[in-house]
Amino acid sequence: MNATTATGVAVGPRLRERRDAGRKLLVPYVTGGVSADWTDYLRAYADAGADAVEIGLPFSEPMIDGPTVQEASERALHRGATVRGVLADLRAARVDVPLIVMTYYHLVAREGHAEFCAALAEAGVRGLIVPDLPLEELAELEQATAAADVDLILVAAPSGAPSRLREIAARSRGFVYAMTAMVTTGERAELPASAAEFAARLKAHADLPVLLGFGISTPEHAVAGARAADGVVVASALMRGLLDGATPAESGAQVRALRAALDEVYG
């Protein structure tokens, strides 16, 4: 496996530096290829104060996505989105925030671990989330991501035993992605109170930033989630807007509102 010269902004150092400076982190999501102008949303997110952006590489059999992200993935696939196509768009986009790809293991494995990670790095992607690859199956991809200088970000679930949470915190890179509850992705009316408790438990194990995701839908949720965590990931609420016709400027305004709420309370 050859080390790859990575481009793009590194995830771990950027998030840690900002966390240590007292800023609450905000990572918005967009489904790659969901519209012809999808990379304009990346720029809008970055301009609105995103600390990193998560990009979904759509797969036909998503195991943890709720209806909104599923709909976005189906739309992207219908438009002909592919791994290589999305990465080519990203390479051309040149956005000055860390880029993180989220996808399912099949799309990684069929390309080959090293090849997939090298392609990410070449496109300026420096973080990877593979939600259907649990600890037991992780070793090979862990090596490949490390060789390509890509952070392999692990997802921690509230169902995890303390020993698993410790191991996830120890092996995750970039940040630890904490699920707010035992749910699929999706907009929610309320953020469960247990989310903060879970984030606090994880922070006890993790030196890395801990970000809460799954159901963070409003600025109020973001503020509540960031009370115990180092920040939040927002996906479905943004994708709902996009699917309903929000322009990059309008989605950027959604992110700006989240940013403002976090800064107002914690800034």
Q: Which residues are catalytic?
A: 54, 65
Each residue 73-102 as x (binds other proteins by CB under 8 A) or -, in order, gives: -x--x----xxx------------------
Q: Would you count residue 138 as binding other proteins (CB under 8 A)? A: no
Strands 231-234 and 210-213, sheet pairing: parallel
Shortest reach from residue 202's CB to other proteins, in Å:
12
**Residue 137 binds other proteins (CB under 8 A):** yes
Phi, psi of 126 (to 5 degrees): -120, 10
- Determine, following the binding rule CB under 8 A, whether residue 105 of this chain makes contact with other proteins: yes
* 131 lines the binding site for other proteins (CB under 8 A): yes
Q: Which stretch binds other proteins (CB under 8 A): 45-53, 70-78, 192-200, 228-236?
A: 70-78
Under the criterion CB under 8 A, does residue 154 sit at the interface with other proteins? yes
Residue 183 phi/psi, 5° resolution?
A: -145, 165
DSSP string computed for 95-128: -SS-EEEE--HHHHHHH-HHHHHHHHHHTTEEEE
Under rule CB under 8 A, residue 110 binds other proteins: yes
The least distance separating other proteins from the CB of residue 33, rounded to whole angstroms, comes to 11
Please count the residues of this chain forming the interface with other proteins, following the rule CB under 8 A.
43
Full DSSP string of 165-208: HHHHHHH--S-EEEESSS--S---SS--HHHHHHHHHHHHH-SS
Q: Binding to other proteins (CB under 8 A): which residues in 7-46?
A: none
Amino acid at 145: T
Please list, in sequence order, all residues whose beta carbon lies within 8 angstroms of the beta carbon of residue 57, skipping any fewer than 6 positions away: 32, 83, 86, 101, 102, 103, 107
The whole-angstrom separation of Cα 228 and Cα 211 is 9
Stretch that binds other proteins, among 27-35, 182-190, 201-209, 216-224 (CB under 8 A): 182-190
- Dihedrals phi, psi of 123, to nearest 5 degrees: -85, 5
The yes or no reply on residue 194 touching other proteins (CB under 8 A) is no
Question: Which of 134, 143, 147, 149 contacts other proteins by CB under 8 A?
Answer: 134
In terms of Cβ atoms closer than 10 Å to its own Cβ (0-12, 13-18, 19+), residue 256 is middle
Distance of alpha carbon 229 from the chain centroid: 15
Given 63, 92, 204, 249, the residue binding other proteins (CB under 8 A) = 63
* Binding positions for other proteins, rule: CB under 8 A: 59-67, 70, 74, 77, 82-84, 104-107, 109-111, 131-137, 154-161, 164, 168, 179, 182-184
